[in-house]
Structures are given as C-alpha cells and as structure tokens.
A and B are shown apart, each in its own frame.
Chain A
Amino acid sequence: MSKRTVQFKIYRYDPDKDAAPYLQDISVELEASDKKLLDALVRLKAKDDSLSFRRSCREGVCGSDAMNINGKNGLACLTDVDSLAQPVTLRPLPGLPVIRDLIVDMTQFFKQYHSIKPYLINEDHPPERERLQSPEEREELNGLYECILCACCSTACPSFWWNPDKFVGPSGLLNAYRFIADTRDQATNERLDNLEDPYRLFRCHTIMNCVDVCPKSLNPTKAIGKIKDLMIRRAV
C-alpha cells in the first residue's frame, strides 16, 4: 500500500475546555507501512497532540485501545485502516463516562469484573508442584481464559448500558464461567449463588452484540448459557 490520506471524524471532549463533546473533522497522510487504525491514530497524535486515547502493546493483547469504530466496538490495533469506510468515525466506548476524547472511565466495568472473584479459590494445601488437570478438563477453559478485558463486549451490550451497576456484563460473566469451569476451583456453588439473581446474570437477553464485537472471537453468550445449564442442573 502506498501513501494515502484518510479522513476521520473523531469524538473530542476535554471537560476542562469544552462545554459539550463534538466531532472533529481531521485527515492524515499515512505512510506505506501504516496498516492498522492505531498507526493512523499515532500519526494523528503527532499532528494534534491534544488528541487523547489509550494504547500500549499495539498487538491486541493489552486491550487498551478499545473504541467505537464506525459504530462498532473494536481494537484500533487489530483493525485494518484500509478496510474502514471513510470518513472513519471514532467514538469512545459507549455507555461509560468519558474522561477525555477516546478515553473512558472503566471503573464500573472492573467493579463488575472483581465482583465475580476472578481468581482460583482452593482451600486445599498447595501441592509440591502444580494442581493437575486432565487434557479434557483443560480444554473446557479454551475460549474463556483468552479474554483481555478490553470492554468491547460489555459496552456493546444494551443490558450493561441500562444496568451497569447490577448486571455483571458479558465480559464479567465469561470470566465467571472461566472459574466455574475450572476443575481446580472449589467455589462453584458460591459462584453460582452469586450469579443466581434477576440482575447479575439474568439481565442477559441473548442479544449477542458481545459475540459480534469481541476482538478475540470469544463467545460470552455461550458461556452465559453454560452457567444457566449448571444452575438448572443444580436446581432440578
């Protein structure tokens, strides 16, 4: 790909200066080596250093640069800039308070994540080496442990928009199932108790926006279904 110019419409809001958010029209010339949206954002930042966004690993592992790209949540570092319709409209993740420009306050998201106790609970004495699992038991964790907590899914979920304080959200529930499914964990019942609530789990209406946007191609809806299965098996 040669040099080309890309048009952007970027959500700008600096609470110290702006009375209200606005969309800024801006264009940037990309070099042949610029492939991803994040490359373009870095060029834009060089042009206008007041533009604020989060980024770190630039290869889809840290989950920092999640944003709303042409109406769909995704990671800037994994999105091919040439695949996007122009002008490329960039907004912060929907439903979370904006700190500045494309940076949102993720406190509520992480509060929900912490509420599911995202760590192994095992009261047994730790063995000399590791706690063992069979290959089949380990297989169940695939598609769960890969979550990078970028919040693309939870902020695409209408149920999370309406009840971010009560509904755990797809990311939190995927992670909840990651520990429920882990045979080394001993708190399955407590974990199910914690979710058996009309809000925490059952606000999920199977809209599946989470599956649509997950940059790691994970399936929170499936994990939520498996949690419901376990609850039914426990209850009947």
Chain B
Amino acid sequence: MVKRIIVGAHYGLRDWLVQRVTAIYMALFTLVFAISLFWLGGFNYHNWAAFWACPATQFSGFLFVLSVIYHAWVGVRDIWMDYVKPDGLRLALHLVTLFLLIGYAGWAVRILWRL
C-alpha cells in the first residue's frame, strides 16, 4: 500500500455544521420541554400520555431524538477518528456506533409513541 496523504472526504463541513445546529435545537427543546412540564397539571401517567399524544410534542420530540442521534454520531466518530489508528478497527467501531444509534432511535420512538 502506498503511503500518500489522501484528502477530500467532503463531509467535514456538513457534519461540523449539523453538530452545532443539533446542539442548538436540543438546548431549545430541553428548555421548552422543561417549561411545558409545569403545564401538565401534575406528574401522573394520564397527563404524561396525553402530553405525548399531542402532535406538537411528537413532532418536536421526534426531531429531538434525531438530533441526539446525529449529534452523538459525529461526537463518537470524532473520538474514534482522534484515537483509533488502524483503519479496519476504526471502520468496525464506526459501524457498531451507527447500528447502536439507529437502534436507539427506533427504541426511543417506540417507547414514546406507545404511551
């Protein structure tokens, strides 16, 4: 294998930008979510289920789950990129991370939609 500096995987900017945008969305959602909880009128299953049955909560909650997943994907992949040198091992770790995160996304949606 020749040793060359290989450049041009053009997803650097996209992932960097998406990581920042998702961070802003997650911060805003957390704030609005925390404030909304005070309007529930008591923390019980009935109110909680009604809260998640609301289309606005489902819409913004789904976006929140996607944001967490994408944000975590870029962040965890950054760790593998920084510290894991062998390309094969790094690819394997990327795939494990990706599968886990996609699985978590489905799981989270299933829990919240099932209420």
Contact = CB atoms under 8 A, between A and B. Distances in A.
Contact of A228 (B8, B16, B81): B16
B81 A111 contact: no
A contact residues, range = 20 to 34
Interface stretch (A19-27, A93-101, A196-204): A196-204
A195 B8 CA distance: 7
A235 B16 CA distance: 13
Interface residues on B, range: 10 to 19
B114 to A, nearest CB: 37
Interface in B9-37: 9-17
A163 B17 CA distance: 22
Interface of B: 5, 7-17, 78, 81-83
A194 B9 CA distance: 9
B13 A235 contact: yes
A191 B81 CA distance: 23
A196 B13 CA distance: 6
B8 A198 contact: no
A235 B82 CA distance: 26
Contacts of A197: 7-10, 12
Contacts of A198: 9, 11-12, 15, 81
